[in-house]
């Protein structure tokens, strides 16, 4: 048995690997992220995505079972993209940990500015639409936030080890605080079409990082 692994070719045209880029499928995902970060899920029809991706309508249901399935695939694609982005900043071991966080914030800020503050966070957008989205969306989105928080908490613990924030600080709780507020800031920046909210939240958050724990309990 030597010819084991190298497949066992059947007749007919072989199945395509859906993960490879360049195809119509990834075009749809790209266009989907761009449009949904701006307009949300329910308000956008698939035809708008199709024409943006230059993919005919008939193809859509070849790649995705439904609009919902497309939405879930979009969440996965976006979560992947964002996780890589977070890693890029948070694992930059040549800079102090707190600086890495500030760099991420600056990068996100610049990203929003580049699109005139019209696009927000896909995951935040979909979260807002939970009332009309199927339950599976909730689980996925919730998991994505948990992942982002974990990565952020790790970075904060590195800052703690480096003496940049107090020893007693609860890094998990601070990371949760960050993402709760940051999503609010992104939403607000989209509304006002400027970076004020991002700056205001970042300033407050970094100030909070300097507080000694145990102080000021109501």
Residues forming contacts to a second copy in the complex (CB under 8 A) are 38-40, 42-44, 98, 102, 118, 120, 124-125, 127-132, 138, 141-142, 145, 173-174, 176-177, 179-185, 187-188, 190-193, 196-197, 200-201, 203-204, 206-211, 215-216, 218
| Binding partner at 51 among a second copy, DNA, none, C-beta below 5 to 8 Å by kind | none
Q: Is 33 helix (H, G, I), strand (E, B) or coil?
A: helix
23 near DNA, rule: CB under 7 A: yes
Query: Quick one: which of 44, 37, 119, 109 has its CA closest to 77?
Result: 37
End-to-end CA distance of the chain: 72
Concatenated DSSP letters for 175-218?
A: HHHHHHHHHHHHHHHHHHTSSHHHHHHHHHHHHHHTSPTT----
| Least spacing, CB of residue 20 vs DNA, in Å | 10
Distance CA 105, CA 31 (A): 24
Q: Which of residues 62-101 bind DNA (CB under 7 A)?
A: 62-63, 65-68
136 near DNA, rule: CB under 7 A: no
Q: How many residues bind DNA (CB under 7 A)?
A: 29
Q: Which of 26, 59, 128, 194 binds DNA (CB under 7 A)?
A: 59
57 near DNA, rule: CB under 7 A: yes
| Least spacing, CB of residue 74 vs DNA, in Å | 13
| Least spacing, CB of residue 130 vs a second copy, in Å | 6
| Least spacing, CB of residue 187 vs DNA, in Å | 23
Supply the DSSP symbol for 15: P
**Distance (Å) of CA 212 to CA 8, 15, 42, 96:** 64, 59, 44, 20
| Least spacing, CB of residue 42 vs DNA, in Å | 8
Q: Count Cβ neighbours within 10 Å for each residue of 146-165 and write b for 16 or more, e otherwise.
A: eebbebbbbbbbbbbeeebb
By the criterion CB under 7 A, which residues form the site for DNA?
9-16, 23-25, 44-48, 55-63, 65-68
């Amino acid at each position: 048995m030597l010819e084991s692994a190298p497949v066992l070719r059947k007749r007919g045209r072989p199945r395509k690997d859906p993960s490879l880029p360049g195809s119509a499928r990834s075009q749809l995902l790209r266009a989907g992220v761009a449009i949904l970060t701006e307009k949300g899920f329910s308000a956008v029809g698939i035809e708008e995505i199709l024409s943006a991706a230059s993919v005919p309508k008939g193809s859509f249901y070849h790649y995705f079972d439904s609009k919902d399935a497309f939405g879930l695939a979009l969440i996965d694609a976006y979560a992947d993209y964002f996780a890589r982005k977070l890693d890029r900043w948070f694992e930059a071991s040549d800079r102090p940990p707190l600086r890495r966080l500030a760099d991420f914030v600056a990068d996100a800020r610049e990203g929003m500015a580049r699109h005139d503050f019209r696009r927000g966070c896909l995951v935040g957008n979909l979260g807002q639409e939970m009332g009309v989205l199927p339950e599976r969306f909730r689980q996925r989105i919730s998991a994505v936030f948990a992942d982002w928080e974990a990565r952020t908490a790790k970075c904060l613990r590195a800052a703690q080890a480096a003496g940049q924030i107090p020893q007693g600080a609860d890094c998990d709780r601070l990371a949760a605080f960050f993402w709760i507020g940051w999503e609010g800031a992104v939403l607000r920046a989209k509304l006002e079409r400027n970076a004020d909210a991002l700056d205001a939240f970042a300033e407050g958050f970094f100030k909070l990082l300097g507080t000694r724990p145990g102080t000021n309990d109501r």
